[in-house]
Every structure is written in C-alpha cells, then in structure tokens.
Amino acid sequence: MVGVKVIGSDSEFQPELTGAGSRLVVVKFTMAGCRPCVRIAPAFTMLSNKYPHVVFLEVDVHVCQGTAAANNISATPTFLFFRNKVRVDLYQGADSSGLEDKIKQHVENDPGSNEDSDIPKGYMDLMPFVNKAGCECLNESDDCGFDNCLIKDSTYLESDCDEQLLITIAFNQPVKLFSMKMQVSVLAQAPKCVKIFINLPHSMDFDDAERSEPTQTLDLSEEDYKDEGLISLRYVKFQNVNSVTLFIKSNLGDEETTKVNYLTFIGTPVQATNMNDFKRERNWQFRRLPQFYELKFSNEGAVFAAFIVCPQYEAYMAVGQVVGCLYTMAVLQAYQTDLHWELDEEVKMGNGKVRELHCASDLALRDTKETCSAMQ
C-alpha cells in the first residue's frame, strides 16, 4: 500500500489493521487546527511512499473519538505502531527525522514486510517485543556476538571456546510461544540438542543448565532447518512467557563451535487488544463537559467508579469501573450516576489526589451505569 489512508469513522479502523496482517502499520492521530500535525503532514506522506511495505493510516481524534479513546491518545500528533492488530510502539511529536528513525527501527528487520508464508495465521514474529537490554549470551565469540543473530543479514552468532551457548531472550511484555525460528548457513555447526527454560528468576550458568529440568528439550536434525527453520514448541507450556533461555548443548556435526544466523520466536502477546470488545461504544450517550470540573471526595458510598490509565503514572483503580485518562490534557472520561462524585482515596496522580482535572472542551461523558469490562 502506497500513500496515507484516512480513516473516516471508527468502524473503518479495525478492518484496516486486520487487512494489514503482519505488516507494520503506522497510525497518525491528528486533530484539525493542530499546527504540529499540519507541519509533519508532508513528511508523513513522503514516508508512506518511501516505505511501501508499511501501511500508513491517519485518524482525526474528533472524527473517530472511539478509536482515540480506545488507544488512550493523549496529544497530537501521536503515532502508534501496530503489527497483527497489536500495538508495538509509540512516537509523539512533529520531528519527522525522529519518526523515520522509529520506522526504520521496525522495518530494518521487519518480519512482516515479506508476509512470511511459514507463519501460521493468527501468529506473528515476536522480534518487535524482544527487550534487547534484558538479553544475554554466555560463551559468545567476541567477533561474532549475540546481536548478530537478531538481524536478518550475513552476520551470525558463534560460540567461543566450545560448541555450547547459553542464550536468554527477554520480552517487554508476556507472550505466548507457538514456535521458534532458527536459521543457519552451515548445517554442521547448527544446534542439535537444545534445552529450553522459561521465566527463570535469576541468570543461569552452564552448570545450572546441565542439571536443571527444562520446559522442553529439542533434539534437532537437518530436517528441522528446512522451510525457514521453523521449529514447533509445546504451545501449552509456553502460555505466559517473560523470558526464554536456550541451552545449546551440541551441534549436528560435532564441530568445535556452533553458529546461528537468525533466531526469533513465533507467537502472540498475552494482552492482545480485542477491538471487538469496544463495539458497545455506539450505544453510549454523550454530552459535552465544561473546560474545568472538580472531583469531590465523600466518605459515604461511591457513586461512580473509575480506572485511570495514565502512561506516565501507570494505572490506578478507583472503585470498580473504567475510564481513560489522557495525561497531556489531563482528560478524564468517567461514569456518572449521581450529582456527587467520589474517587477511591488510593487514586493518585503524581504526589497528590486527583481533585481537579483540566478537561478538553469536547470531552464526552459516558452517561451509563454499564460496566465496561473490556478495558479492565
């Protein structure tokens, strides 16, 4: 797809993400009259032509209020990055160079750009979720280190003093692992016996790896490295994975060193957003709020409850239902069931309780008692 697709209504957004499959999707959230949005618009169009394998979408936060609220948009322009309908990154501001750097970060090793036919429908390459700062490799060669096997090019990871490697890959959120993709260029130096461990509480050394019971043990052959090296895992054992450790014990040809050209995992994030849960939004009633309002506290029963989601301060539960807090404008969307409002005393932003919020003039208040369990 070349060019920027403008989303005209909330109902158009989800089909566009679905249609993109495993390709990277960059969504620009904009607003009429926003000068930074206008300033970066030509660059965004240029980038859409420069990266034809990436899907570029534009969403006006006033036209598609439901989509903006569901994605907790706090300022414009905001750029969200999706793959397989899962949000993988965010960029804010009108710096076109910074935006392109962020796009390059995802496409230079983009598992979705060529629509890998070997990845089953519903799963994705989890490389975008790898937390490189949390990864480590023991017995890696100084000249051919671990980082090489995270990139699809001619470089490779090679062991140092013997054939064994101990690799830990950390993820930035819990994931479900369906399979492992391990590609090699020299079969004789390809891993053979691999012990797999997950969610270890501390770093493992080679002695620990030898005597510990793994989550799964693989005895690989040349056949496993055909068809892009996709190796099935026992899916039921890998349902909530924060880190995975591979103890490569031997290689196919009993060579002195082991080489791995590319290593990644196929699966899904545990907390993949299901946008179908937001279909009920069309039944909500809306009304405008004044620019400022005050949240008052009462010791007598709660008359409304809220879940404030704030990127800078994490998330805080008020008495039991759900709202979105957009921190840049400090916008609160809440349920109102009476004239008196109450927040749980533990709901805080910064160092104090929320007693006053600056609200956007077009903020919609949802006048309903229905619990929106989809966002809990």
Mind telling me the catalytic residues?
34, 37
What is the C-alpha separation between 362 and 157, in angstroms, rounded? 54
Among residues 117, 123, 130, the alpha carbon closest in space to that of 178 is found at: 123
CA 336 to chain CA centroid, Å, is 32
What is the C-alpha separation between 159 and 165, in angstroms, rounded? 6
Q: Which residues contact 77 (CB under 8 A, 6 or more apart)?
A: 28, 29, 30, 34, 36, 37, 40, 92, 93, 94
Q: What are the φ and ψ backbone dihedral angles of 353, each rounded to 5 degrees?
A: -70, 155
- Assess contact for 158 and 144: CB atoms under 8 A: yes
- Assess contact for 316 and 308: CB atoms under 8 A: yes
Query: DSSP class of residue 363?
Result: P
Burial of 234 (0-12, 13-18, 19+ CB in 10 A): exposed
What is the C-alpha separation between 343 and 332, in angstroms, rounded? 12
- Assess contact for 361 and 288: CB atoms under 8 A: yes
Alpha carbon separation from 248 to 116, 196, 245 (Å, rounded): 26, 9, 10
Cα first-last separation, the chain:
35
Radius of gyration over every alpha carbon of the chain, rounded to an integer in angstroms: 24
- Assess contact for 364 and 287: CB atoms under 8 A: yes
Among residues 48, 63, 78, 147, the alpha carbon closest in space to that of 329 is found at: 78
